[in-house]
Amino acid sequence: MVDQKVVAFVEPSFYGVDFVERTHRKGCKVIAIGSSLDNPKKYNYETFYDDFLIADIRDPQSIYQAIKQSPYYGKLDALIPATDYASHYTAEVAEWLSLPTIPSFAAHNARNKDLARKAYSDNHVPSAQYAKVANYEEACQAASQIGYPVVVKPTNCASSQGVFFINKEEEFLTAFQKLRAFKKTYMGFDVSTDYLVEEYLEGPEFSVELFLKDKEVVFSSVTEKITSDLPYFVEISHTAPTSSQEDKVDEMINVSVQAMLAIGIDNGPSHVEIRLTDTGPKIIEVNGRPGGDNIASQLLFNTYGLDIFEETVNFYLNLPIKDDFPVQKATSIAFLTSRQNGQISSIEGIEIIKNDDSVIKFDISVNPGDTVKIPESSDDRLGYVITSGEDAKEAKRKAMDLINSIQLVYQ
């Protein structure tokens, strides 16, 4: 009889819920480690775990002690981060427990944009010019050296939180007022008081989804993006495979692999954000995890038959990993956003989505009476629709047409 594998996940949420579900389905014993017993219900994995350990996920010692004082100390087969914000702490604890993991220094590089930028620079990976700053005066000085326009952001946030497009020096005043007031990000993590001022990269944005095994590419795909109008950077559409710049796919993948290796990730999944500039692809950031926004869970699975969550668990458990993922069809997601600030009186057009055969999945999270605004971050999106098509252009067109068929009526 084969022993049941025991797998622990740190704070399953958002994309991390897919990890828990796949691992439970594989017949493993699933241990969730998180900040509250309410979280399995909050993040919708109530039926996918076997035990729950309480820990402060912002403190690796707390995670370690929760495991040490549990019946699973010395019995875990894997400890896997299931939220981006705790990935570096999870890697530290896995090293202390001698469990498979990406190196903790690599996870720290991925979580901290200033460390990542330095790694790209040191390893000659194309990316934006940047400066690390602590205040308004330093930001103005850095921008004058880099050249306007620039982007300013905290070093440790995600989902476009705290990201500002700056055209001139005076705009830093408003940006820093908001940044100073932005104290906590998701799950109570402190927002860094160090900031990056970066060159604004001109050109279309893409993401590259990768899975490496011992520095070799097992899977790669380029996802085409549409982002909101400046001054914000909210992602409002993803399509896999890309329907544009197909002659640049190999170049974008190669630069993304260089970036992964530069920060120290040579195994497992990564979601790399990139802009294709006039001088070639340049790295925005590397996330050492599967892509969110349903890219990994829906787009990659529907397009290639790749379950990147199961393959990642297989990697951690030293089980065989598949390496052949031919394109089966194309998939696109489009997000519903508000075109103005106000209160919703009614929503029209949802029936059109319900009756369209190309729709794989949709969710409309806004209701009459809700107050909405022009999106400044991913949190401000109001729903989505996912469609399939015979090719990427068709899938993208269907998704955009359907999301645009929804009419938000304002009071």
**Domain 6-101 CATH assignment equals 3.20.20.100:** no
Residue range 22-35, pLDDT digits in tens: 999 999 999 999 99
Instruction: Calculate mean pLDDT across residues 293-299.
Output: 95
Reading the block at residue 411, the tokens are 């009071």
The predicted pLDDT at position 259 comes to 97
Task: Answer whether residue 77 shows pLDDT above 80.
Answer: yes
267-284 pLDDT, tens digit per residue, is: 999 999 999 999 999 999
CA distances from 189 to 57, 59, 111, 273, 369 (A): 9, 10, 12, 23, 31
Q: Given this model, what pLDDT does residue 206 score?
A: 97
Q: What is the pLDDT of residue 323?
A: 84
Asked if the model's pLDDT at residue 233 lies above 60, the reply is: yes
What is the predicted pLDDT for the residue at 185?
79
What pTM, to 2 d.p., does this model score? 0.91
Alpha-carbon distances, residue 257 vs 183, 189, 217, 253, 268 (angstroms): 33, 29, 8, 6, 12
CA distances to 36, 90, 91, 183 from 57, in Å: 10, 9, 12, 17
Task: List, as one string, the DSSP characters of 122-149.
Answer: HTT--B--EEEESSHHHHHHHHHHH-SS
Instruction: Say yes or no: domain 331-410 is CATH 1.20.140.10.
Output: no
Handedness of CA 393, 394, 397, 402 (dihedral sign): negative
Q: Do domains 205-328 and 331-410 have the same CATH topology?
A: yes
Q: What percent of the chain has pLDDT over 70?
A: 99
One-character DSSP codes across 174-235: HHHHHHHH--B-GGGPBPPS-EEEEEPPPS-EEEEEEEEETTEEEEEEEEEEEEPPTT---E
Cα-flanking dihedrals φ and ψ of residue 102, to 5°? -75, 155
Distance CA 115, CA 118 (A): 5
pLDDT (mean) for 130-148: 93
Distance CA 211, CA 220 (A): 7
Q: How do the domains of the chain map onto residue ranges?
A: 6-101, 129-199, 205-328, 331-410
Chain segment 93-117, per-residue pLDDT in tens: 999 999 999 999 999 999 999 999 9
Q: Which pLDDT value is given to residue 391?
A: 95
Where would I find the H helices in 51-112?
A: 60-68, 87-96, 104-111
* Sequence-distant contacts of 130-138: CB under 8 A, at least 24 apart: 130/196, 130/197, 130/198, 130/199, 131/196, 131/197, 132/194, 132/195, 132/196, 133/194, 133/195, 133/196, 133/197, 134/193, 134/194, 134/195, 135/176, 136/172, 136/173, 136/176
CATH number of 129-199: 3.30.1490.20
Average the pLDDT over 351-372 and give the result. Answer: 94
Among the listed residues 210, 381, 231, the one whose alpha carbon sits nearest the alpha carbon of residue 295: 210
Output the pLDDT for position 1. 37
Cis bond upstream, residue 149 (ω within 30): yes
Does pLDDT of 314 surpass 60? yes
Q: Would you say residue 159 has pLDDT above 80? A: no
- Asked if CATH classification 3.40.50.720 holds for the domain at 205-328, the reply, yes or no, is no
- CA–CA distance from 333 to each of 82, 281, 300, 383 (Å)? 23, 23, 12, 10
Question: What percentage of the chain's residues is helix, strand, coil (to nearest 5)?
Answer: 35, 30, 40
Asked if 206 and 222 count as a contact pair (C-beta separation under 8 A), the reply is: yes
Residue 302's pLDDT is 95
Instruction: Evaluate whether 340 touches 391 at the Cβ level (below 8 Å).
Output: no
DSSP letter for 274, please: E
2: pLDDT strictly greater than 80: no
Element (H, E) at 272: strand 268-277
Using a 10 angstrom Cβ sphere, with 0-12 exposed, 13-18 middle and 19 or more buried, the burial of residue 393 is middle
Residue 274, token pair as written in the block: 């990139």
User: Residue 317 — φ and ψ, nearest 5°?
Assistant: -95, 5
Query: Which three-class secondary structure state does DSSP give residue 29?
Result: strand
CA 307/CA 305 separation, integer angstroms: 6
* Amino acid in position 8: A
Q: Say how many CA atoms lie within 13 Å of 191 toward its Cβ.
A: 19
Strand (E) or helix (H) holding 54? strand 51-54
Task: Kindly report, residue by residue over 185-212, the tens digit of the pLDDT.
Answer: 777 788 888 999 999 999 999 999 999 9
pLDDT above 50 (res 403): yes
Q: Name the average pLDDT for the chain.
A: 94
Distance CA 196, CA 202 (A): 18
